[in-house]
Amino acid sequence: MAAIATGAGPTAAGSVRGDGAEQAASIANSVTASSVWFGDGLWGRQGTAVSSVLVAGPINDTAVARRSGSVHRDRLELGRSGPPHGRGSGAGGEGWHSDRTANPLQASRRRPALLYFPVRATRGRGPMQGRVGRRPLLGAIGSTLVAYAATAQAEWRPDRPLRMIVPPGPGSGADVIARALAAKLVDLLGQSVVVDNQNQGVGAVGIMAAARAKPDGQTLMCSISSILLAPLVDPNLTYDVRQFQPVSQLHQAATVLIVPPQVPARTLAEFLALVRATPERFTIADYGHGTASHVNAALLIKRAGLASDIVHYSNTPGIIRDLVADHIRCAIVDSASGMQPIRDRMVHALAVSGRQRLGVIGEIPTFGEQGFAGFEPAPWQSMFLPLGTPPAIAGVIERAVRQAVAAPDFSARLRGLGFEPVGGSAEELAAMLASERATWQAVIAETGIRPA
């Protein structure tokens, strides 16, 4: 509902009487007030200063007419563009003297109108003597409407192409998602988005470049959960997720414990019984030192009392090949890479990390459901801005990112890749980061993982 207040300031709404006072006060205090003098024959007597509130849009005028003692029924002749005066019986048209319906409240239900709340009147001659013409009055109201609309719409917009730094390398799952998001942001923000992959130093170069960028909304960073986990594993890394301003979590993934069909275990309990009986036959594979799969593999060994070793792979496809060939007998992989082999029954999934089941593979129970706590953190991808980005700029980008993630085609693409869409607020992302940081720190301390 658009609103314009004309009056002596914030106190103008205070003189409204009746149950409609709160509504008028809220409207009056939300816009800039000014004084308008009306001549004889218009909405006030000659030489009367009138403080008032004009509301554009549909209002519960029936309730106002019944309850507000300061609003005369004659002044609720809505649905036309002029002030109420006279009681003509003509119908049709939308001029100053037309559409005099027998029941003016019915007219207001047909279309939005201007509702006039007289707030305060003082006798005396104003600075404009005599009669004020209708055209100047309408011009003043129209100018105020335009000014208010311009102020309401004057939000920050990027004035040149945006740069989206993506620390994972080209062709990775995170890169595919970042490029799909960039295409959405072009339409939502009205500027092209240049995806800049900087994966040198396992992404550290890109992360530091984003941290040093000017906080003007022109540089974004689309990063995965390693930005939080890696510095906890290796304190020598020079970056920290707290150097960035959270925008929105794009998706939630999971790590998945998988075994080849040759292993006769279909639950976590059955698997652990086999490993304890023949520990020499079970080496747990992960997709890299210091990753979520590595930390979860170490935690499983610690909590279950296993004697197994861990072997690090550089990627998940290599793990899947060796599982199918029976070179290794178990692994912890990311849900995106493992989803298709699981669906094709090339491997069997026994447990997933996370606080709840992952929707895209919802048939697989969590570690927690099977008696093993501490596996709540899971891989994710989120959008960040350089620390110190003004709230007005960060808010525009947050809304655009959340709108992009909520788009049906984008959400469907995420699910097709093995991720569960999130699109949460900046506050929700900040809370998640704080919670996972504390959990990961405890797990790393418990397992004794050290830098490579």
Per-residue model confidence (pLDDT) at position 376: 86
Split at pLDDT 50, 70, 90, the class of 422 is very high
Helix (H) or strand (E) holding 348: strand 348-352
Task: Say how many C-beta atoms besides its own lie within 10 A of residue 192's C-beta.
Answer: 13
Residue 383 near residue 244 (C-beta atoms within 8 A): no
Q: Which of 42-46, 64-68, 100-104 has the lowest mean pLDDT?
A: 42-46
113 has pLDDT over 50: no
What residues form DSSP beta bridges with 52?
A: 6, 118
Per-residue model confidence (pLDDT) at position 10: 37
Per-residue model confidence (pLDDT) at position 452: 81
Per-residue model confidence (pLDDT) at position 141: 60
What residues form DSSP beta bridges with 384?
A: 221, 246
Structure tokens at 107: 């007219």
The 3-class SS string of 215-227 reads CCCCEEEEEECHH
Per-residue model confidence (pLDDT) at position 155: 82
114 has pLDDT over 60: no
Structure tokens at 135: 């055209």
**Strand 284-286 to 219-224 pairing:** unpaired
Q: Is the Cα torsion angle 280, 282, 285, 291 positive or negative in sign?
A: negative
286 has pLDDT over 80: yes
Angle at 107 between CA 105 and CA 109, to 5 degrees: 80
Per-residue model confidence (pLDDT) at position 111: 40
Please give the mean pLDDT across all residues of the chain.
76
Burial of 321 (0-12, 13-18, 19+ CB in 10 A): middle
Per-residue model confidence (pLDDT) at position 203: 86
Domains by residue range for the chain, with CATH? 2-151 (no CATH), 162-253+379-447 (3.40.190.150), 255-370 (3.40.190.10)
What residues form DSSP beta bridges with 48?
A: 38
Residue 229 near residue 290 (C-beta atoms within 8 A): yes
446 has pLDDT over 60: yes
User: What are the pLDDT digits (tens) for 377-420?
Assistant: 889 999 999 999 999 999 999 999 999 999 999 999 999 988 99
Mean pLDDT of 262-268: 95
- 3-state helix vs strand vs coil in the chain, percent to 5: 40, 20, 40
User: What are the pLDDT digits (tens) for 206-263?
Assistant: 999 999 999 999 999 999 999 999 999 999 999 999 999 999 999 999 999 999 999 9
90 has pLDDT over 60: no
Task: State the Cα torsion 221-224-228-230 to the nearest 10°.
Answer: -110
How far is the C-alpha of 250 from the C-alpha of 402, rounded, in Å?
8
Quick one: which of 167, 138, 152 has its CA closest to 228? Answer: 167
* Long-range contact set of residues 82-86: C-beta below 8 Å, sequence gap at least 24: 82/134, 83/42, 83/43, 83/116, 84/116, 85/41, 85/42, 85/43
User: What are the pLDDT digits (tens) for 127-147?
Assistant: 444 454 555 555 556 555 555
Angle at 436 between CA 315 and CA 287, to 5 degrees: 10
User: What are the pLDDT digits (tens) for 365-376?
Assistant: 999 999 998 898
* pTM reported for the whole predicted model: 0.65
Instruction: Tell me which amino acid residue 17 is.
Output: R
Mean pLDDT of 290-297: 94
Split at pLDDT 50, 70, 90, the class of 52 is very low
Quick one: which of 265, 290, 289, 283 has its CA closest to 330? Answer: 283
Percent of the chain scored above 90 by pLDDT?
57
Split at pLDDT 50, 70, 90, the class of 171 is confident
Quick one: which of 5, 275, 262, 327 has its CA closest to 148? Answer: 5
103 has pLDDT over 70: no
Per-residue model confidence (pLDDT) at position 304: 94
Per-residue model confidence (pLDDT) at position 146: 52
Split at pLDDT 50, 70, 90, the class of 169 is confident
- Compare 339 and 132 and report the one with higher pLDDT: 339
